[in-house]
């Protein structure tokens, strides 16, 4: 029989024993030494192990301080209370003595709650006192009252200075959740300034400013050499200040936007019982020992134990990731079941903070608040320092290389000029002061070369690019909370996505249905993209049902064909036979109740034209209502309709179908029924199986008419109500409704775009394997040869086994938050750049661990948003594709500018070096001219290249690994080619221009100096267009019309250069040029573009790759990797043999079939391929088991 997870019953049998906060931990008596493992994997065993678990209240490593509280006047410590929900643990619940002992130990009362005027408590209650067994329940209550009275002094005699509940707050804390202290603008500035490149720039600026001040005030100036040497140092400092201000203001503003996004009524009120009276208090005033009322729609304010109530079901999907509702059982009932050795698989008395009440009303006893609660601990776990991003790492490495390169060139120039100085010194007729000045000039020139070598515009380009990208990303519904996350996303190699609320809507929706046997409908909005034809083999009958999908009509068309009588029957079956109700939140009407019933009501509202649910029900005369029960797996409502009675039944169709003797004949005609045949039953069973194979939750709708109520011959109970077993027969089958949490629009296309861009998308969910597989296949995540594994299996793998599994793993089902974090951490250890998406509290740890964390802005919890780097404002997974594009655009902008900047730096440094060594009276470029080229133009180039929007083709390439160099081979080719061309033209003009152009007069020679400068600048302007591409494609003007910034800045650069040449005069050592000389300069500059074409046509391999590959082959060594703990005991080969007996089958003649490291496998083959290293047979069998399984919801 199929799992009842497909039917109306929301309490999945598989919930019996899983991990943190999702289900209940039941230890095994057979192997107490493995208690920790059983806690992790949720092993389901009997109550004997619960009663004999010696480790139930033992502190976890690092939590010992929570168990030892100074001057504790309560029987229990915060640490012991936390053991109840770390994870849900019935052993700890039993060890603490159940609810009665919790009352005593926490000095409270389940009926009257805390005393309203409690301050400092007198006396102490020990653990033994709390667990003391009384003769009967009444005696225990009397003892508690006596203890309470003895330990509570009158208000007049207390120390009021300690305030209300002083001891209780001191020991257990109040309910203020831990929050990260907001950083002010100056802290953001300091964080931005702590960058190696900026620190290097500041050092250079100090040197430059010192030299400039000396030259300005300590040397003699001429009309052609104005005292402006200090300007460059000040300009570099100004650039650093701009970088810090722009970066910090961006981060500060993003943080403020995040705060506004999260702005809620945090100080909401909750209803508690104090001094025997119900009252509302602020959520932050809730204390351990409080008795809290809960009702549908409430968000649980603190952890606790369920006291009593009616049909309380909680939605814990934000914590566990599972969409089913969990039924809560009274604590006394659970404790009694433990002592009587009853089945505990469904017993759950635990209330988790941050979850929602979906059904029922009741009360619970608070056991943990604030930082000690589940919600608070998750928030505290997010208080971690940010890691360095890949681009930061590369820029820091580049800064070191630049410092070494600039220092080496400066030292070489200093040595050459110093040797020349000493050679000429004996023959010099200058005065000692002049000789000293010559020496200082040599030192200044060497330091100037060092300053020129540092690309001061690079950090500005990074900051401007990030600022521009984040602003544009906000328009694309991506709120970037941390500026550096933008560029990290550009190189993401893996996306580990949550299912519920991320890939799906976290909103159950009716997607298909069958009325009778002749009419079927499909919601075209969800059904086609969600359920592509599966490659899995199906039976002939299933194939028949599947093939008939093409004949299904849309929901709207189907409802339009129904007669009014049938439409009313369907509407009443949904609206009247339901316990869900309406609520108006923020002006928007929503339904509150089980997700199945709210989905049916939404369907009725959208297609059947129902009015307000309360009005519909008030018009119906309900004579008997039998609520849903997990044993019966159905709900029944009886309505008096004009003197006759109609029984509406809703429940699991696979069970209720056997109670049917008739079936509705033709829904498009008046209501009539006929006898159900064997072929009808077989067909309907095929429909049920087919729906289940597509991960649909199936709901059966049935009815029966009676002349009187209770019917004649039917047994009745003490309330004169008919016994269900006697009336649940001879039913008329109405139809089957298929419900599912639908895939978000655009998800499949977004996944395909990610895969096209070389990003591996993995799904990590708490759902069972069959559901996870169905959704993964619908999203396009799970390929034919992809692997599926459960979290309990994954976490038991060794590090080396994980390394073999991960390249093939595409779906991790039944996973805990720890499993998700483990997967992310392992991927990062393998050198991967990992992004994680999630919306729930359970995703927070993985979001924080990842390189980039995405949370949902609309349905995401506060914890998830706080942990994330980027918030998807529209909750659309497809927005991630835009984030990837903008992230790559940022990386490309940095590389484009770097390519341009390094070219300028090389040519400027070499020109300065050569012209200085040549001992001419004047350098090729004067200091002021170099200031314009090296600073102003670089800044403008940063602005121009940082604002290029991403082109669609940016997704056609694979992401760069962390180890990828910042300057690629194609970039090196362009840098060297352009530098050679610029140097050749400039040096030819500098040394041979007068001869080539036949310049003889002083004025013409002065014009030649200006031609050198003008030509050099025009080569940079045209080379700026060359640098719009980083690949070998020839169209450098692609998308230029969409970037008005680039065009505007280009015009500004051209205008400034024209102005300088015309009016620069003595300050720039400029002489006006004639038309011919302008033509020389512009034509020689424009030749940079065809030179760029020639460079791009040169194959990379011909120039660089062969020599690099030969070098790598000569120096390559095959080696294995191991975790630190493994290396403490065994060398890696021996460790492999020890951990994997099947490893011996892979060894032949002492040689391994494959010696690739896991990291190499991931980089070279992001998706499983036939030539991947063969994983061991036992691991292959783990993945193979799930591949062979038929996709049947609840099969596991």
Answer yes or no: 1192 catalytic: no
* 8 A C-beta contact, residue 1024 and residue 1088: no
Give the integer Cα–Cα distance in Å for 634 and 628. 5
**290 C-beta neighbours (distance < 10 Å), count:** 28
**Closest CA relative to residue 848, chosen from 496, 439, 479, 436:** 496
Helices (H), 1075-1157: 1075-1086, 1088-1097, 1100, 1106-1115, 1124-1127, 1132-1139
Does the pLDDT at position 1191 exceed 70? no
Q: With b meaning 16 or more CB within 10 Å and e meaning fewer, what string describes 132-170?
A: eeeeeeeebbeebeebbeebbeeeeebeeeeebbbbbbb
- DSSP symbols for 997-1012: HT--SHHHHHHHHHHH
Q: With b meaning 16 or more CB within 10 Å and e meaning fewer, what string describes 582-598?
A: beeeeeeeebbbbbbbb
The pLDDT assigned to 290 comes to: 94
Q: Lowest mean pLDDT: which of 11-25, 125-139, 755-769?
A: 11-25
Q: What percent of the chain stands above pLDDT 90?
A: 14
Stronger pLDDT, 1171 or 132, i.e. the higher one: 132
β-strand pairing of 852-856 with 870-872: parallel
The pLDDT assigned to 13 comes to: 37
Q: Give me the chain's average pLDDT, please.
A: 76
Q: How confident is the model at residue 196 (pLDDT cuts 50, 70, 90)?
A: low
Does the pLDDT at position 12 exceed 50? no
Give the integer Cα–Cα distance in Å for 611 and 571. 11
Q: What is the mean pLDDT of residues 991-996?
A: 87
Does an H or E element contain 702, and which? strand 697-706
Sign of CA dihedral 825, 826, 829, 830: negative
The pLDDT assigned to 265 comes to: 40
Cβ contacts of 863 within 8 Å, gap of 6 or more: 354, 375, 378, 379, 382, 841, 844
Q: What is the mean pLDDT of residues 186-206?
A: 70
User: Coil, strand, or helix at residue 1189?
Assistant: coil
Does an H or E element contain 812, and which? strand 809-813
The pLDDT assigned to 550 comes to: 42
**Closest CA relative to residue 782, chosen from 795, 796, 769:** 769
The pLDDT assigned to 1142 comes to: 40
Q: What is the mean pLDDT of residues 311-323?
A: 75
Q: Which two tokens stand for residue 1063?
A: 């009016």
Q: How confident is the model at residue 87 (pLDDT cuts 50, 70, 90)?
A: confident
Does the pLDDT at position 1194 exceed 80? no
Q: What is the mean pLDDT of residues 1014-1026?
A: 91
Q: What is the mean pLDDT of residues 51-65?
A: 80
**Closest CA relative to residue 1021, chosen from 1042, 1046, 989:** 1046
Per-residue pLDDT of 692-739, as tens digits, reads 777 788 899 999 999 888 888 888 887 788 888 888 889 999 999 999
Per-residue pLDDT of 964-987, as tens digits, reads 777 888 888 999 999 999 999 999
Stronger pLDDT, 108 or 1102, i.e. the higher one: 108
- The angle that helices 879-917 and 390-424 make with each other, rounded to 10 degrees, is 0
Q: What percent of the chain stands above pLDDT 70?
A: 73
Per-residue pLDDT of 915-958, as tens digits, reads 888 765 667 777 667 767 766 666 777 778 877 888 888 888 88
Per residue, what are the HEC states of 744-759? CCCHHHHHHHHHHCCC
Per-residue pLDDT of 463-516, as tens digits, reads 777 777 877 888 888 888 777 777 788 888 999 988 877 788 878 889 889 998
Per-residue pLDDT of 566-624, as tens digits, reads 888 999 899 988 888 877 665 667 787 778 888 899 898 888 888 888 888 888 888 88
The pLDDT assigned to 1148 comes to: 36
Stronger pLDDT, 220 or 1070, i.e. the higher one: 1070
* 8 A C-beta contact, residue 198 and residue 243: yes
* 8 A C-beta contact, residue 151 and residue 123: yes
Does the pLDDT at position 806 exceed 70? yes
Give the integer Cα–Cα distance in Å for 641 and 909. 96
Bridge partners (DSSP) listed for residue 957: none
Cis peptide before 925 (omega within 30 of 0): no
Does the pLDDT at position 199 exceed 90? no
Exposed / middle / buried, residue 386 (Cβ in 10 Å: 0-12, 13-18, 19+): exposed
**507 C-beta neighbours (distance < 10 Å), count:** 15
Does the pLDDT at position 197 exceed 80? no
Q: How confident is the model at residue 2 (pLDDT cuts 50, 70, 90)?
A: very low
Q: Return the residue matching tokens 């649910």.
A: 613
Q: What is the mean pLDDT of residues 1060-1088?
A: 86
**Closest CA relative to residue 485, chosen from 103, 837, 145:** 837
The pLDDT assigned to 1178 comes to: 62
Q: How confident is the model at residue 6 (pLDDT cuts 50, 70, 90)?
A: very low
User: Of 28-42, 138-152, 1010-1024, 1124-1138, which has the strongest mean pLDDT?
Assistant: 1010-1024
Cβ contacts of 858 within 8 Å, gap of 6 or more: 873, 874, 875
The pLDDT assigned to 1068 comes to: 72
The pLDDT assigned to 141 comes to: 40
The pLDDT assigned to 365 comes to: 94
Cβ contacts of 810 within 8 Å, gap of 6 or more: 760, 761, 762, 763, 776, 781, 782, 783, 786, 787, 788
Q: How confident is the model at residue 399 (pLDDT cuts 50, 70, 90)?
A: low
Does the pLDDT at position 1081 exceed 90? yes
**265 C-beta neighbours (distance < 10 Å), count:** 7
Per-residue pLDDT of 360-393, as tens digits, reads 889 999 999 988 888 777 766 655 545 555 666 6
The pLDDT assigned to 1094 comes to: 92
User: Of 644-648, 811-815, 1040-1044, 1174-1178, which has the strongest mean pLDDT?
Assistant: 644-648
Cis peptide before 710 (omega within 30 of 0): yes
The pLDDT assigned to 234 comes to: 75
Does the pLDDT at position 1143 exceed 50? no
On the CB side of 486, CA atoms within 13 Å amount to 31
Q: How confident is the model at residue 217 (pLDDT cuts 50, 70, 90)?
A: confident
User: Coil, strand, or helix at residue 1147?
Assistant: strand
Stronger pLDDT, 548 or 645, i.e. the higher one: 645
Q: What is the mean pLDDT of residues 424-432?
A: 80
The pLDDT assigned to 985 comes to: 93
CA 619 to chain centroid, in Å, comes to 48
Q: What is the mean pLDDT of residues 1003-1031?
A: 89
The pLDDT assigned to 421 comes to: 83
Does the pLDDT at position 1129 exceed 50? no
Q: How confident is the model at residue 205 (pLDDT cuts 50, 70, 90)?
A: confident
**Active-site annotation holder among 498, 767, 875, 938:** 498
DSSP state for residue 66 in the 8-state scheme: G
Per-residue pLDDT of 444-458, as tens digits, reads 777 777 767 766 666
Phi, psi at 932, each rounded to 5° = -65, -45
Q: How confident is the model at residue 460 (pLDDT cuts 50, 70, 90)?
A: low
DSSP state for residue 534 in the 8-state scheme: P
The pLDDT assigned to 180 comes to: 62
């Amino acid at each position: 029989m199929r799992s009842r997870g497909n039917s109306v019953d929301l309490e999945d049998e598989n919930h019996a024993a899983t991990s943190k906060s999702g289900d209940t931990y039941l230890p095994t008596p057979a192997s107490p030494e493995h208690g920790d493992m059983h806690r992790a994997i949720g092993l389901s065993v009997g109550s004997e192990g619960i009663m004999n678990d010696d480790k139930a209240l033992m502190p976890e490593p690092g939590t010992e301080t929570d168990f030892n509280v100074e001057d504790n006047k309560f029987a229990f410590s915060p640490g012991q209370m936390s053991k109840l929900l770390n994870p849900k643990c019935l052993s700890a619940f039993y060890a603490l003595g159940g609810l009665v002992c919790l009352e005593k130990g926490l000095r409270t009362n389940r009926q009257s709650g805390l005393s309203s005027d409690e301050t400092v408590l007198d006396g102490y209650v020990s653990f033994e006192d709390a667990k003391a067994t009384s003769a009967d329940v009444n005696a225990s209550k009397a003892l508690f009252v006596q203890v309470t009275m003895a330990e509570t002094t009158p208000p007049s005699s207390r120390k009021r200075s300690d305030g209300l509940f002083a001891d209780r707050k001191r020991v257990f804390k109040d309910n203020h959740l831990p929050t990260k202290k907001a950083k002010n603008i100056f802290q953001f500035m300091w964080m931005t300034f702590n960058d190696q490149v900026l620190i290097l720039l500041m050092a250079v600026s100090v040197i430059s400013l010192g030299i400039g001040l000396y030259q300005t005030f300590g040397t003699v100036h001429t009309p052609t050499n104005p005292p402006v040497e200090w300007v460059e140092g000040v300009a570099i400092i100004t650039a650093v200040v701009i970088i810090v201000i722009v970066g910090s203001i961006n981060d500060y503003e993003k943080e403020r936007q995040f705060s506004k996004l999260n702005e809620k009524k945090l100080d909401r009120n909750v209803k508690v019982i104090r001094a025997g009276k119900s009252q509302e208090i602020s959520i932050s005033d809730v204390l351990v020992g409080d008795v809290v009322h809960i009702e549908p729609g409430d968000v649980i304010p603190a952890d606790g134990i369920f006291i009593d109530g009616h049909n309380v079901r909680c939605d814990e999907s934000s914590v566990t990731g599972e969409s089913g509702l969990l039924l809560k059982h009274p604590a006394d009932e659970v404790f009694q079941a433990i002592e009587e050795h009853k089945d505990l698989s469904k017993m759950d008395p635990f209330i988790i903070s941050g979850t929602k009440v979906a059904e029922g009303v009741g009360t619970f006893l608070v056991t943990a608040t604030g930082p000690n609660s589940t919600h608070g601990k998750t928030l505290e776990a997010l208080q971690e320092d940010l890691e360095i991003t890949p681009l930061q790492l590369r820029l820091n490495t580049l800064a070191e290389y630049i410092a070494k390169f600039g220092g080496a060139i400066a030292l070489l120039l200093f040595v050459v000029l110093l040797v020349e100085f000493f050679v000429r010194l004996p023959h010099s007729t200058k005065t000692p002061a002049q000789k000293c000045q010559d020496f200082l000039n040599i030192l200044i020139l060497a330091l100037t070369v060092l300053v020129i070598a540092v690309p001061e515009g690079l950090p500005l380009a990074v900051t401007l690019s990030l600022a521009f990208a984040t602003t544009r990303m906000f328009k694309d519904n991506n709120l970037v909370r941390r500026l550096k996350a933008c560029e990290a996303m550009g190189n993401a190699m893996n996306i580990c996505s949550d299912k519920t609320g991320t890939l799906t809507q976290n909103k159950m929706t009716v997607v298909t249905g069958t009325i009778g046997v002749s009419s079927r409908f499909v919601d075209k909005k969800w059904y086609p993209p969600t359920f592509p034809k599966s490659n899995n083999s199906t039976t002939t009958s299933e194939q028949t049902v599947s093939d008939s999908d093409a004949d299904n009509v849309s929901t709207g068309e189907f409802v339009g064909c129904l007669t009014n009588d049938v439409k009313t029957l369907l509407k009443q079956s949904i609206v009247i036979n339901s316990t869900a109700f309406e609520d108006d939140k923020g002006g928007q009407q929503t339904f509150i109740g089980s997700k199945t019933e709210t989905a049916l009501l939404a369907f009725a509202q959208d297609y059947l034209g129902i009015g307000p649910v309360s009005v519909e029900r008030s018009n119906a005369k309900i004579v008997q209502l039998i609520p849903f029960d997990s044993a019966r797996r159905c709900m029944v409502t009886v309505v008096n309709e004009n003197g006759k009675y109609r029984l509406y039944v809703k429940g699991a169709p696979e069970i209720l179908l056997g109670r049917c003797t008739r079936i509705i004949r033709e829904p498009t005609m008046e209501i009539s029924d006929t006898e159900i045949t064997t072929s009808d039953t077989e067909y309907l069973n095929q429909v049920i199986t087919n729906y289940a194979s597509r991960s649909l939750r199936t709901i059966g709708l049935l009815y029966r008419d009676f002349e009187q109520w209770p019917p004649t011959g039917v047994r009745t109970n003490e309330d004169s109500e008919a016994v269900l077993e006697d009336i649940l027969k001879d039913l008329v089958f109405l139809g089957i409704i298929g419900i599912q949490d639908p895939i978000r629009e655009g998800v499949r296309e977004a996944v395909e775009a990610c895969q096209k861009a070389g990003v591996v998308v993995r799904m990590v969910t708490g759902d069972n394997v069959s559901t996870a597989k169905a959704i993964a296949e619908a999203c396009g995540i799970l390929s034919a040869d992809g692997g599926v594994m459960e979290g309990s299996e994954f976490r038991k793998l060794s590090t080396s086994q994980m390394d073999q599994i991960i390249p093939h793993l595409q779906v991790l089902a039944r996973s805990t938050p720890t499993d998700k974090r483990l997967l992310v951490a392992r991927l990062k250890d393998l050198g991967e750049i990992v992004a994680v998406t999630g919306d729930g509290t359970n995703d927070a740890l993985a979001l924080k661990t990842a390189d980039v964390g995405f949370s949902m802005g609309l349905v995401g919890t506060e914890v998830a948003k706080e942990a994330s780097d980027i918030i998807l404002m529209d909750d659309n997974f497809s927005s991630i594709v835009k984030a990837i594009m903008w992230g790559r655009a940022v990386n490309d902008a940095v590389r484009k500018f770097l390519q341009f900047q390094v070219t300028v730096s090389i040519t400027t440094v070499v020109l300065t070096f050569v012209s200085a060594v040549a001992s001419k009276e004047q350098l090729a470029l004067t200091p002021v001219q170099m200031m314009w080229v090296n600073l102003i133009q670089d800044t403008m180039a940063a602005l121009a290249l940082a604002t290029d929007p991403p082109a669609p083709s940016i997704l056609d390439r694979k992401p760069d690994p962390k180890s990828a160099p910042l300057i690629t081979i194609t970039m090196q080719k362009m840098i060297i080619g352009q530098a050679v061309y610029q140097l050749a033209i400039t040096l030819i003009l500098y040394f041979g221009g007068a001869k080539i152009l036949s310049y003889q007069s002083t004025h013409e020679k002065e014009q030649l100096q200006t031609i050198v400068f003008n030509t050099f600048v025009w080569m940079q302007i045209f080379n700026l267009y060359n640098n719009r591409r980083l690949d070998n494609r020839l169209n450098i003007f692609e998308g230029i019309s969409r970037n008005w910034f680039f065009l505007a800045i280009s015009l500004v650069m051209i205008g400034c250069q024209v102005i300088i040449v015309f009016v620069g005069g003595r300050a720039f050592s400029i002489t006006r040029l004639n038309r011919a000389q302008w033509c020389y300069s512009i034509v020689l500059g424009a030749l940079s573009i065809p030179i760029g074409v020639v460079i791009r046509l040169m194959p990379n391999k011909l120039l660089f790759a062969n020599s690099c590959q030969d070098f790598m082959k000569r120096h390559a060594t095959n080696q294995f990797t191991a975790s630190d703990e493994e290396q403490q005991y065994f060398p890696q080969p021996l460790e492999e043999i020890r951990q994997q007996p099947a490893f011996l089958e892979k060894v032949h003649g002492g040689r391994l079939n494959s010696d690739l490291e896991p990291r190499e496998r991931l980089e070279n083959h992001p998706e499983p391929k036939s030539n991947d290293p063969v994983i061991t047979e036992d691991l292959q069998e783990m993945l193979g088991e799930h591949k062979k399984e038929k996709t049947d919801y609840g099969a596991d």
